[in-house]
Amino acid sequence: MTNLQKEIMNIKKDKNIKILAHNYQTYDIQQIADYVGDSFYLSKISQELDCDTVVFCGVNFMAETTKMLSPDKKVILANEEAYCPMARMISPDDIIKFREENPDYTIVSYVNSTTETKAYVDVCVTSSTALKIMNQIENKNILFVPDENLGNYIAKKIPNKNIKLWEGYCNVHDRVTTEEVYDLREKHPNALLLVHPECREEIVNLADFAGSTSEIIKQAKESSNDEIIIGTEVGVLDYLEATVPNKKFYLLSKHLVCPNMKKTKLEDVYKAVSCEGGREVVIEEELMNKAIKSINEMIRLAE
């Protein structure tokens, strides 16, 4: 561990702080975090934290979800400018308008959405829970927002449902091309291709497995294959290279770097645990009371 990492470890122990980090954070941050995982794991953990303060290393909506699930704790987003552009591709007004025009639809939102949007939808899902949750929705008519690629991936698995899709996308995963898949497949013909369902349909169709970031990590570790192509953000590859030295990992595309996830640096984490930086998450009570319902429904249906 570096001196800075050691200092962060000491401060968080002294101040009873827990650090939560998404799988896309750089490995030096993952090393000093108490909990690292995908969006669903981090939501679950947020309910069970035994600490005074949480420093969240990831993007805005994730820290807000933690705050909603741990309202009595101080939650600090380590880099105040880290946000998910896809979360802003749908607004509460869009939802209100759709509902007025389509009162017979259940509205499902990917957790990559703003707290304001979450306040108007019926249930949230993450990439690892979407299929299980949407399978349990009795209504045949579903609107899925905002990620068209994830929505389409789930819709193909449950053809009995009438699923309308919003045209949002992740500007990192959506950039992966079939040419990049063919190119890496040619270079590494025996490698396993693991992708995130935020990739386009044609990429997912060429993959050996599609799943959340933690599911990709699990597959990569458990597979008997010792060559693996990672079709999600580079943080997953960095973690695997550091922890599974006997396997070879290749990044599917040079575009698989999320600029927002990479805004958080170890120095930001140091400042956040020292109460000298980051941004405390504050959500107005009425908004929180509305938005938490779709998060609680997600946790209930995913169980």
Provide the binding-site residues for ligand SF4, judged by CB under 6 A.
Answer: 59, 84-86, 112, 170-173, 198, 233, 258, 260-261
Under rule CB under 6 A, residue 212 binds ligand 13P? yes
Under rule CB under 6 A, residue 149 binds ligand 13P? no
Under rule CB under 6 A, residue 268 binds ligand 13P? no
Write each residue from 21 to 40 as x if it is in contact with ligand 13P (CB under 6 A), else as -, in one continuous string.
--x--------------xx-
Nearer to ligand 13P, 114 or 212 (CB): 212
Under rule CB under 6 A, residue 264 binds ligand 13P? no
Nearer to ligand 13P, 31 or 39 (CB): 39
Nearer to ligand SF4, 170 or 230 (CB): 170
Nearer to ligand 13P, 152 or 274 (CB): 152
SS3 labels along the chain: CCHHHHHHHHHHHHCCEEEEEECCCCHHHHHHCCEEECHHHHHHHHCCCCCCEEEEECCHHHHHHHHHHCCCCEEEECCCCCCCHHHHHCCHHHHHHHHHHCCCCEEEEECCCCHHHHCCCCEEECCCCHHHHHHHCCCCEEEEECEHHHHHHHHHHCCCCEEEECCECCCCHHHCCHHHHHHHHHHCCCCEEEECCCCCHHHHHHCCEECCHHHHHHHHHHCCCCEEEEECCHHHHHHHHHHCCCCEEEECCCCCCCCCHHHCCHHHHHHHHCCCCCEECCCCHHHHHHHHHHHHHHHHHHC
User: How many residues line the site for ligand 13P (CB under 6 A)?
Assistant: 11
Q: Which entry of ligand 13P, ligand SF4, none binds 73, CB below 5 to 8 A by partner kind?
A: none
Q: Which entry of ligand 13P, ligand SF4, none binds 127, CB below 5 to 8 A by partner kind?
A: ligand 13P
